[in-house]
Amino acid sequence: MSLKIKLLGVRGSLPTPHTKKERRTFAVELLSKYLDSSDKDIDSFIDSLSHPFLYGLGGNTMCALVKTNETTLLIDGGTGIRNYIDDAMSGPLGRGKGELHIFMTHFHWDHIMGLPFFSPIYIPGNKIHFYAVQPELEDVIKQVFRRPYFPVDFKTLRSSIVFHQVEARKPFKIGDLTVTPYMLDHPDACYGPKITDSRGKTYSHAVDHEAIRMTAKELDEDLPFFQGVDLMLFDAQYSVSEAAEKINWGHSSALKGLKLAEREKIKKIVFAHHDPMHTDMMVQETAEESYVQFQNIVGKDKEVDWELAVEGREFIL
């Protein structure tokens, strides 16, 4: 038994392909590494490179897969959902005998724009469950599949689609997973799921969270979202200075995530929702600078296990 979390899309706001300048810089760095390497076998050399260097952080918008042997749950339907299509179509969902669960944190474009391109939703016999705290869940999903936004009308979808409105801070079951939605700090209603498997392993999804409330008193009934967490995905779209300029935009910085992780003993925190205006190098540098700032504030003896979210990265709890 294991709890698998796979990051299918990690970019914020809108899909972000590499620019010509980024591709040229990468080509120069790749050739330089190869010329400096003692290993001239191309396949071996490529295999020796780190995933982030070779493939980048990823340009698809937010979507995460949470999976056990019994249950498959997607969080949000950004363009990253396309990265699950091959796996989905190779199993029961490809034969019209599958059941899939999708938890929607909120309904901004970057979290729903991949849904019309998710093949299993068109296959008869499949059962697709949507969950959200917001009462407008059904209306929003139906609007996604409607002209002039998309040529396929919701009424023509051939899978069976079921909508579930759930309560904030009230745990509910999806297969062998227990899901509890907590309120995130965002201009529009947004809820992050805390997901626990039958062994007690826990994943919290804190994306589109500005972390305006930082103290235990401020977080109040949402404090448990950050407690007893094995893995947390945390919104770190901005640098500290950018976050100060963009108050109430609904996104945070790595520094705030590090502070929360240290205080609440989060075992591992992963920074996501990368800004579409930031290159991969900028994202890396911003996170590293934030960690230096964090240690300058709390002391160099205080350490937090952190990394940047990379499209395709899997975690096994």
pLDDT in tens, 95-146: 999 999 999 999 999 999 999 999 999 999 999 999 999 999 999 999 999 9
pTM for the model: 0.93
Q: What tens digit of pLDDT does each residue of 157-177 get?
A: 999 999 999 999 999 999 999
Domain shared by 77 and 202, yes or no: yes
Domain shared by 146 and 288, yes or no: yes
Peptide bond into 116 cis (omega under 30): no
Residue 238: predicted pLDDT? 95
Domain shared by 237 and 278, yes or no: yes
Domain shared by 144 and 268, yes or no: yes
Per the CB < 8 A criterion, the answer to whether 259 and 214 are in contact is: yes
For every residue of the chain, which 3-state class applies, written as one string? CCCEEEEEECECCCCCCCCHHHHHHHHHHHHHHHHHCCCCCHHHHHHCCCHHHHHCCCCCECEEEEECCCCEEEECCCHHHHHHHHHHHCCHHHHCCCEEEEECCCCCHHHHCCHHHCHHHHCCCCEEEEEECCCCHHHHHHHHCCCCCCCCCHHHCCCEEEEEECCCCCCEEECCEEEEEEECCCCCCCEEEEEECCCCCEEEEECCCCCCCCCHHHHHHHHHHHCCCCEEEEECCECHHHHHHCCCCCCCEHHHHHHHHHHHCCCCEEEECECCCCCHHHHHHHHHHHHHHHHHHHCCCCCCCEEECCCCCEEEC
Segment 262-279 shows an average pLDDT of 96
CATH of the domain at 90: 3.60.15.10
In this prediction, residue 36 has a pLDDT band, given cuts at 50, 70 and 90, of: confident
Domain shared by 129 and 203, yes or no: yes
Domain shared by 29 and 145, yes or no: no
Residue 32 has pLDDT above 90, yes or no: no
Domain shared by 10 and 25, yes or no: no
Domain shared by 146 and 228, yes or no: yes
Domain shared by 111 and 227, yes or no: yes
Total structural domains in the chain? 2
Domain shared by 162 and 299, yes or no: yes
Domain shared by 27 and 140, yes or no: no
Residue 40 has pLDDT above 90, yes or no: no
Residue 298 has pLDDT above 90, yes or no: no
Domain that holds residue 228: 4-17+56-316
Domain shared by 169 and 109, yes or no: yes
Residue 18 has pLDDT above 80, yes or no: no
Highest mean pLDDT of the ranges 16-30, 40-54, 211-225 = 211-225
